[in-house]
Amino acid sequence: MIGKLRHRITLQEIIKTDDGYGGIVETWKDIATVWAAIEPLKGTERYQAQQVQSELTHKVTIRYRAGIKPQMRILYGNRVFDIEAVIDVDERHRWLELLCSEVVANA
């Protein structure tokens, strides 16, 4: 598995702050930059995953890291992936599989 971790990604979480006028400003904050394996979901995996989630497009595998939540996102180059599900593979705290949907910018 270690040899497949060849993509450098940045994990981000959303920070909400008061704008001083009764509103909320949301900004993304970098949490960590880590090595990852990024794989598009194959047809059957995608079908099975979508039984629970909507429009999952990729599986991102990283070394285990506490605190990763579905409310976070991943930056990979100029691409953005919303984390939809976090799976602790075999419940061994060695690897995390992040099921993601790629955010496509409106042109």
CATH number at residue 39: 2.40.10.270
Q: How many CA atoms lie within 13 A of 1 on its CB side?
A: 12
Task: Work out the number of other CB atoms within 10 angstroms of the CB of residue 60.
Answer: 21
Task: Domain count for the chain, please give it.
Answer: 1
**26 is in which domain, residue-wise?**
2-103
d(CA 74, CA 80): 6
What's the pTM value of the predicted model, to 2 decimals?
A: 0.81
Task: Say which residues have a Cβ less than 8 Å from residue 74's Cβ, sequence separation at least 6.
Answer: 9, 10, 11, 12, 36, 60, 80, 81, 83, 98, 100
pLDDT tens per residue, range 2-55: 678 999 999 999 999 988 888 999 999 999 999 999 999 865 555 555 555 457
